[in-house]
Chains A and B, each alone.
Chain A
Amino acid sequence: MTRSAADVTRGRPVAVRCRSVTKTYGSGQSAVRALRGIDIDVHTGELLMLVGPSGCGKTTLISVIAGVLDRDGGECTVLGEDFNKMRSDAKTAFRGRNVGFVFQAFNLIPTLTIAENVSVPLLINGHKRNAAVEQAKSMLSQVGLGTRVNDYPNRLSGGQQQRVAIARALVHKPKLLVCDEPTSALDHVTGQKVMELLRDVASSNDLSLVVVTHDQRIFEFADRIAEMDDGHIEQISGGLGHKVAEHPSESALT
């Protein structure tokens, strides 16, 4: 059974709200306008995919949403907070508590075991070391790697490493998960499994997911797909091809 975008977003609170968000790299004639007025909302429990050609601004938008890059203009609130109005340390602490990251290149620290890698967000949030590692092991069991907790990342396959990265992104129970090309380094079957995992986690934890991808094979997992081009959102479709709106306005988004 498929769900429409309206089904997913109806009645659910907005986790991320972006209005007229702009971002320009450089200045003068060499300036690159990466975002040219983005309007988009991400709802609790929703899996939103950002798609589009390279250089269209997907990664810039996900960076702004995740609070690792400051926007130049417009408004953007995440869980009701505006990153641009927060001090650096407060922003960092907010990210640590509320945002999970899954990266294209996994970014697992190669000199830590996978349990230690997964425990890092808990340590950042002040958990005791032993408790953090135990919780990390439990999380790894949930992603099917309970027997590999003492292995180093380089001993795992790409799919396994991405599962570790997902475990790391979820272990501290964030409210927003941002994923950058989570399946691009994986084969089709593994990519499907990773997306199933993300989909299940999102729906069961009321987690908002924003996934940047080029991989059309995983579009089926999206609740909504935002197509970007040249710093704009061209259209937002419902998952599985259900179109929600073209040139979305604020009313259409909410």
Chain B
Amino acid sequence: MYATALKMLFRDKSKYFGIVMGVMLASMVITQQGSIFVGIMSRTTATITDMGWPDIWVMDPKVAFIDDTKPLQTTALSRVRGVEGVNFAAPLYKGQLRARLDNGEFQNCIVIGLDDATLTGGPPEMLRGDLSDLRQADAVIVDYVGATTRLARANPLPNGKPIPLAVGDTMELNDKRGVVVGISKNTRTFQSQPIVYTTYSRAIQFAPKERKQLSFILVKTTPGMPIAEVCKRISETTGLAAYTSREFTWKTIMYFIRNTGIPINFGVAVGLGLLIGTIITGFMFYSFTVDNLRYFGTLKAMGTRDGTLLRMILLQALVVGVIGFGLGIGAASWFGTSMRGTPLAFVMTWQLLFVAGSAVVIICMLSAMLSMRRVMTLEPAIVFKG
């Protein structure tokens, strides 16, 4: 009987496509908007996730998220190094400085100053040059997106494309000279600002003079030592906040979720997708069932049990759900793929697919329940009514 149910569904082409389109639309909107949301959220934490190295981030207890730097005294580094379980601790400068472009315009950049000795916390991938080149005089490494867009030099030719910043080029950071020694590949940041890497000591020179300039301390724990335990010890011993990379990532994400309009904006779009999908699918599926009510009644009169009819309807709902969901995430993936290389933030995760899939299950179950109610209350005697 289940093959019969599928034939009833597939061969009613207009209704079948309508229902599948409804599910597809809902899946696509939920997945696409969700992926953009996840993409944007992942950009807010790009600085943390691109720096896979540290086990622990140490900072001022008042820091709310990665861009909210509250500098520490340099002595904090020594205090952290003295905590049991800390194998290695490196200073990190993170700040925003103005770069002066060739055409005289200024561009804000994220400047990251790495430990002079070890250069820990460098970019995840080098496209040109080598991280150790930072040891050269005035050396800086610029991220690829920044080098090709906001920091690119003006083309002397009329209507010519900007010329990307290249190794050997110079730039001016806060009136101080920097020489590009490498191009790195980074995750775009939330504000898509160029990222400039240099050494910690040089970053301090670039930055305006302040009493405290140590933004974060990156910690590697002693092998075998529980990271959470070391975090606790650092906090208790130094009075500073210490988070694992994962904790700091989520702290940053939660800051943006709680303090910006991003979640509600995307939530509305996702909710709308769910609502529209439910209405279209529910209506079309219900209409499909109502159109077939006489035939369900006939099947019931001819001896089909209620349970079998229920399973037939559930199967129909499940099949349109799976096909619609597949098409929906396919369309969303195509969208994401076609937008690769653009500033669009798009990250499709399995968790997102799970959420979208759950939403589709809810849509299909609601639609099926509406239909099942009609079939269950159907008197088989309907078949004798003309």
Contact = CB atoms under 8 A, between A and B. Distances in A.
Interface stretch (A13-21, A107-115, A216-224, A227-235): A107-115
Contacts of B302: 95-96, 101, 120-121, 124
| SS of B interface (majority) | helix
Nearest to A152: B11
B381 A68 contact: yes
Interface string A69-107: 100000000000000000011001111110101011101
Contacts of A111: 7-8, 10-12
B383 A109 contact: no
| SS of A interface (majority) | helix
A87 B302 CA distance: 16
Contacts of A63: 381, 384
Interface residues of A, number: 32
Interface string B1-27: 101100110111000000000000000
Contacts of B380: 68-69
B303 interface: yes
A111 B294 CA distance: 13
B295 A109 contact: yes
B305 interface: yes
B298 A129 contact: no
A139 interface: no
B386 interface: yes
A112 B4 contact: yes
Contacts of B10: 111
A92 B384 contact: no
A39 interface: no
Contacts of B12: 111
B20 to A, nearest CB: 16
Nearest to A97: B303
A93 B300 CA distance: 10
A68 B379 contact: yes
Interface string B269-310: 000000000000000000000001011001111111111100
Interface residues of B, number: 29
B305 A68 contact: no
Q: Which of B3, B379, B381 has the most CB of A within 10 A?
A: B381
B316 to A, nearest CB: 12
Contacts of B381: 63, 68-69
B144 to A, nearest CB: 56
Contacts of B303: 92-97, 99, 121, 124-125
A123 interface: yes
Nearest to A103: B383
A143 to B, nearest CB: 18
Given A92-B305, A180-B384, A123 B379 contact: no
A66 B301 contact: yes
Nearest to B380: A68
Contacts of B3: 129
Interface string B351-386: 000000000000000000000000000011101111
A69 B301 CA distance: 10
Contacts of A197: none
Interface in B144-161: none
A184 to B, nearest CB: 9
Q: Which of A63, A88, A111, A123 has the most CB of B within 10 A?
A: A111
Nearest to A119: B4
Q: Which of B292, B302, B306 has the most CB of A within 10 A?
A: B302
A107 B8 contact: no
Nearest to B9: A111
A99 B308 CA distance: 19
Contacts of A116: 4, 7
Contact of A103 (B304, B306, B308, B384): B384
A107 B7 contact: no
Given A107-B295, A107-B298, A101 B304 contact: no
Contacts of A99: 303
A130 B12 CA distance: 23
Contacts of B298: 101, 103, 107, 109
A235 B222 CA distance: 103
B4 A101 contact: no
A69 B379 contact: yes
B383 A120 contact: no
A52 to B, nearest CB: 15
B292 to A, nearest CB: 8
Contacts of A183: none
A99 B304 CA distance: 12
Nearest to B12: A111
Given A62-B384, A109-B8, 15 more contacts: A59-B384, A59-B385, A69-B379, A93-B305, A96-B302, A96-B303, A97-B303, A101-B383, A111-B8, A111-B10, A111-B11, A112-B4, A120-B4, A120-B299, A123-B1
Interface of B: 1, 3-4, 7-8, 10-12, 292, 294-295, 298-308, 379-381, 383-386
Shortest beta-carbon contacts, A-B, top 3: A96-B303, A111-B11, A68-B380
21 contacts: A63-B384, A68-B379, A68-B384, A92-B306, A93-B303, A93-B305, A96-B303, A99-B303, A101-B298, A101-B302, A101-B383, A109-B8, A109-B298, A111-B12, A112-B4, A112-B8, A120-B302, A124-B1, A124-B302, A125-B303, A181-B386
